[in-house]
Structures are given as C-alpha cells and as structure tokens.
Structure 1
Amino acid sequence: MGLSKVKHYLDMVDFGHTLFGLPFAYLGAFLARDGIPSAYQLIWITVAMISARTAALSLNRLIDLPFDKANPRTSEWVLPSGRLAPTKVWVGVFILLVILFYSAAQLNQLCLKLAPLAVIVLWGYSYTKRFTWWCHLILGLAIGIGTVGSWIAITGTFDWQPFVLGMAVACWIAGFDTMYACQDIEFDRKQGLYSIPARFGEKGALIFSAVFHAFTVVFLVASGLILNMGIWYFTGVAIATAVLVYEHIIVRPGDLSRVNFASFKINRYVGLIIFIMSLVDIL
C-alpha cells in the first residue's frame, strides 16, 4: 500500500478520533491497579484498543458503503468516492483482528477468551441502524467495553465495578452520536434507517442527547463513590460536566452549524479531563 493509500486509510478511520476511547481505556487500567500499570501492560492495552477501534470503524464504513454513496453528506468520503478499494479495507480488518487477538493473549487468558465477544459486539453494531433507533447506545456500549477490558487486562478477573464506568462511557458516546446524527434526519427517513433523530426529530433527538449526557455524569459520580475516589476525580467530573453543558448550549434545534465542533472538537476533552484528574487523584 503506497503512502497515499495509507493516508486515505487513516482518513477513512478518523485515526485522530481514537483519542475518544483511549483515555477511558487507560482509566480502567489505572483504577484496577490503583496506581500505574506496567509499561508492558499499557503497550498491549494501547495496541488492543487501537486495533479494535480501527477494525470496528473500517467494518462500519464497509457495511454502510451503499448508504454512504447515496448520502450527499458522505458521498465524498474516502470509500464511497473510490479512493480506496473495499477489498483492501477488508484485508485490513482481518489483519487488525489478528492483532487484537494477539494483544489480548499478551495480557491474560481471560482477555483472550473474551476477545471474540468484543468482536461480535463491534461487528454487530454496524447493522443496528437497520432495525433499532437504540443504535446510538449500542455504539456507546461497544466503545464502553474497552474500559471494562482494560480493567480485566490488569486484574485477570471479571468484576462488576468497571461496568459502572463503562456505562458512563456508553452514555457519553450515545449522547454525541445522537447529536451528530441530526444531520441525516431526512436521509435516514427516506432510506428506512433507524435513528433517534429520524424517529423523534431534531428537537427530540437533542433532548435524548442531553439525557444521555446527564446519565454520563450520574455514572461518573457513582463510579467515583464506588471506587472511593477523592476530590481531584470529582473536580474532573465537574469540569467534564461543564464541557457537556457547553455542547448543548451551542447546538440547538434549528441550528446545527456547530454540531461537528461540539461532537468532535471539544467532546474529545471529556475523557482526557477525567483521566488526567483521576491520575492526579490516584497518585
């Protein structure tokens, strides 16, 4: 694959947006250790997260290709525009899944045993828009399991505590994905696709988005109480809450001009803020 194709591939999978999931994945590991995990563990957690996230987004682009070609908003994206061949993307998916399984094996046996379940969730999400408007929350759950997986990578045990933090991640992702999907209301309705905006309209979707983000804060607070976190963690939650509130101030019914800014520019700082403040608390 030439350098231009590599660039197209990185553009297709929005590689920079991997920042969305990594801070919460690292947080799961740090909280499980109640300190700093080993460099070995952090390296393989990072490789597992990047390979899983990249494979999942590649699958989503491949499975949604007919719709992306028909949608004026997405028709010039890398895959619909023909700048990258679907066969090459499929090859990339299977290479990434091999890397994911290898990474899981380097962490512990429970991670390896649970890796197929993670792949089923990541693969299956791309079909949910065909039958349920809860697809946004399912996307959130698919990303939220990364936090649980990082906890398991450290402890080697299946505990309930990380699921609370995982639900915070799920609601956070569902909130901004619902907001972002408001751009495709008419297209989704014409194509018979399911989404919260297509079902409830722009105003209803933004209400759902706000509710999802409210639950994000609830689960973050609950996770902090369960894990006996201190003032720095809860300060981080307060700052992250302010960021989420700001998103809903600048994106209103009838004015989606700043939806990309809200969803992909400032939203990425939520996980980073929580991680940094939690790290200060832990240390």
Structure 2
Amino acid sequence: MSSSTNRYADASDIVANNWLERRMPPGWRPYSRLARLDRPIGTWLLLFPCWWSIALAQSAGNQPPDLWLYLLFALGAMLMRAAGCTVNDILDRHYDGRVARTSTRPLPSGQITLRQAIVFLLALLAGGLAILLALTPAALLLGVASLLLVFPYPLMKRITYWPQLWLGLTFNWGALMGWAAVENALAWPPVLLYIAGIFWTLGYDTIYAHQDKEDDALIGLKSSALKLGERTRPWLIVFYALCIAFMGAAGIMAEIAWPYYLGLAAVAVHFTWQVTTVDIHGPRNCLARFRSNRFVGWLLLAGLVLAGLAG
C-alpha cells in the first residue's frame, strides 16, 4: 500500500470494524457507511431540535410526554439523516475522492454504484414519508417542505462560505415540526427555538469544518472555517450567545417552568467549555468538541421535561 493510500486510510472518517458492521451481512455494510450508521452524532444533532420542540409544546400545554411521538421522530431522524448523507455523497462523489477524510466513502471508493445509491435514497425517502403520514397535517406539510432545504445543501459549499448556515436551516427544521406534531400549528416559541438551533449549528459545524479546511482550500470548496480562520473563537462566542438568547426567549414565550432555565444554564456552561478549549488547528480536538454537542441536546431536553413535570 502506498504512503498516499495509508494517509487516506488513517484520515478516513469511517469507523472501521465497528460493532454494527460486525453484526450485518457484508453486502449491507457499504449502505451502513453511506447512511453514517457508524457515526450517530449526526442523527442526534438532527433529532434533538425535534425532541426539544415536542417537549416545549407539551410542557407549555401541561401535557404528559408522548413517548410514541418521540419514537416516531427518532426513526424519522435516522432515515432523513441517512437520506441527507446519501444526497451529499451522490453530489460530492468526485470531490470526496480528493479529500483524505472522505476518500474511502462508499461512492468514491467504488463500494457501491451511483445507481445503487439512488435506489437506496428512494427507499429512505419512502420510509420518511410513511412516518410523516402518521403525524398531524401541519407536521406533514412541514416535513415535505424540508426537502427544499435537504437537496440543495451539498451544493452550498461550492457557492458560499456559509454552507453551515444552510445546514442550520436544514438540521433544525424539526424545531418547527415537533411543535406542529403536538399542536397541528405553529407559534412563536418553536420559531424562536428554530432560530436558536441555527446559531447552534453555526457554532458546532464551524468547529467541524476546521478538520477539512486544508483539503477544502486546495479543491476550491468553501466553509465558515475558511472564512473565519483565526477569528473563529470570537465568532463562536457570538453564535453560542445568540443560541442561548433565543432558547431563553422560546422558554419565556412558552411560559414554561423554571427547571428549563437550569438546563439552559448547563448548556451555557458547556458552550463555554467548547469555546475555551477548542483548538482549530487540531482535527481530533475539533471532532471531540463537535461530538460533545450531544450533551447540549440532553441537557436542554432534561430541562424541558423537568419543566413539564414541575408545571
């Protein structure tokens, strides 16, 4: 194996020989990698805004937690994250082969064909539609509308230094859908929560993008990491401060109980840790800070659920 090939293997974002792949037939493994089942953090980041919004609506309405609704959104997030990754890899297959971290993904490495990837995508979308049909009409319409954000996302890194903003618009759409699945309508609290999520994504995905900035610059792709460069840390402070502010405003508008603000304070502490310890020149450090955002999801969700119980 050449030193170049070794470099690609060492830098790959695929988790080799993970527990899930060891338990599935070999023919399924490329699809598991295409869906990023070995890296569930993306599913969590897509799911938490949905769960937050469900909990916010139920806490505001003094309703008990609806575990079936939480389960439906969990399955939907898994399917739609897989669909989004598949769209991304289809459109980026020629670029991915030139980036060390992505060169061993199923499409650029030839593990599956373009036609197979498209059939897989259609199956995922069909599964997502089946889940949408089990929700309220308002949530169904919002779910269909989300495709207008999902499909263009992979193109954003070619035309703007702010693809992270488009990802924020896309990944936090569940903040609108969760409330709509409970109330069959929208209101200001989920809109404010949606805006908060956009700033959250701007923060964590800028950190994530610092892993690829050298390769991105060489092949002409753009990102907020390249745009901000050494100014990243102060901008992270801005993004995360606005996230906290809009999360707080969502709670105030929903008139939910005080435990929510304990969760929000814990999130602020975690953001402070991210900003003060991130090393934008250390890929492993950036990946760890990015993955740590699952704690943000759990902390805020805990505050919301406790607020519902206290209310």
Q: Would the TM-score normalized by the shorter structure come out above 0.5?
A: yes
2:151 corresponds to 1:123: yes
Question: 1: CA distance between counterparts of 2:107 and 2:275?
Answer: 31
Q: Is the Cα–Cα contact under 8 Å of residues 279 and 286 in structure 2 kept in the other structure?
A: no
Question: 2: CA distance between counterparts of 1:255 and 1:106?
Answer: 44
2:296 corresponds to 1:274: no
Q: Is the Cα–Cα contact under 8 Å of residues 279 and 285 in structure 2 kept in the other structure?
A: no
User: Residue by residue, what CA displacement relative to the aligned partner does 1:223-248 show, whole Å, maximum 9, x if unpaired?
Assistant: 12111233321111111111111112
Q: Is the Cα–Cα contact under 8 Å of residues 57 and 179 in structure 2 kept in the other structure?
A: yes
TM-score normalised by length of structure 2: 0.83
User: Residue by residue, what CA displacement relative to the aligned partner does 1:136-183 show, whole Å, maximum 9, x if unpaired?
Assistant: 011011011112111111111132320111112221122111111112
Matching residue's letter, 2:224 = I
* Higher helix fraction (1 or 2): 1
Name the residue aligned to 1:180. Answer: 208
Question: 2: CA distance between counterparts of 1:14 and 1:233?
Answer: 32
Show structure 1 runs of 5+ residues with no match: none
Q: Give the drift of 1:38.
A: 3.6
Matched-pair identity in %:
25
Name the residue aligned to 2:196. Answer: 168
1:85-124 equivalences in 2 (<5 Å): 85-124=113-152
Question: 2: CA distance between counterparts of 1:65 and 1:210?
Answer: 34
TM-score normalised by length of structure 1: 0.90
- How many residues align? The count is 280
Greater Rg by CA: 2
User: Residue by residue, what CA displacement relative to the aligned partner does 1:25-69 show, whole Å, maximum 9, x if unpaired?
Assistant: 112112222333544433333333222222112211221111110
Equivalent of 1:157 in 164, 185, 189: 185
Question: 1: CA distance between counterparts of 2:305 and 2:68?
Answer: 19
User: Residue by residue, what CA displacement relative to the aligned partner does 1:68-114 show, whole Å, maximum 9, x if unpaired?
Assistant: 10112221234332333332222121111122222112112222333
Question: 1: CA distance between counterparts of 2:155 and 2:259?
Answer: 40
Inter-CA distance 206–68: structure 2 relative to 1 (3 Å threshold)? farther
Q: Is the Cα–Cα contact under 8 Å of residues 45 and 153 in structure 1 kept in the other structure?
A: no
Equivalent of 2:251 in 213, 224, 230: 224
Equivalent of 1:20 in 34, 42, 45: 45
Equivalent of 1:261 in 288, 292, 302: 288
Inter-CA distance 161–71: structure 2 relative to 1 (3 Å threshold)? same
SS of equivalent residue, structure 1 residue 258: helix
Q: Is the Cα–Cα contact under 8 Å of residues 24 and 147 in structure 1 kept in the other structure?
A: yes
Question: 2: CA distance between counterparts of 1:149 and 1:129?
Answer: 26
Q: Is the Cα–Cα contact under 8 Å of residues 59 and 93 in structure 1 kept in the other structure?
A: yes
Question: 2: CA distance between counterparts of 1:62 and 1:107?
Answer: 29
* The 10-residue stretch of structure 1 (250-259 or 139-148) with the greater mean CA deviation from structure 2: 250-259
Inter-CA distance 48–254: structure 2 relative to 1 (3 Å threshold)? closer
